Amino acid sequence: MAPQGLPEEQLHRILQEIQTQAITAQRQLNMVRAQVASKDREKRMHALTLKQIDEEKDAIGLYRGVGKMFMMEDRDVLLKELHAKEKDAAEEISNLTKKQKFLEKQFSDSQAHLRDIFSGMDRQAASA
Question: Alpha carbon of 99 to those of 28, 72, 87, 107: distances in Å?
Answer: 9, 39, 19, 12
What's the pTM? 0.76
Distance CA 50, CA 80 (A): 10
What pLDDT is stored for residue 116 in this prediction? 86
- Domain boundaries 3-123, CATH class: mainly alpha
**pLDDT tens digits, one per residue of 40-96:** 999 999 999 999 998 887 778 888 889 999 999 998 899 999 999 999 999 999 999
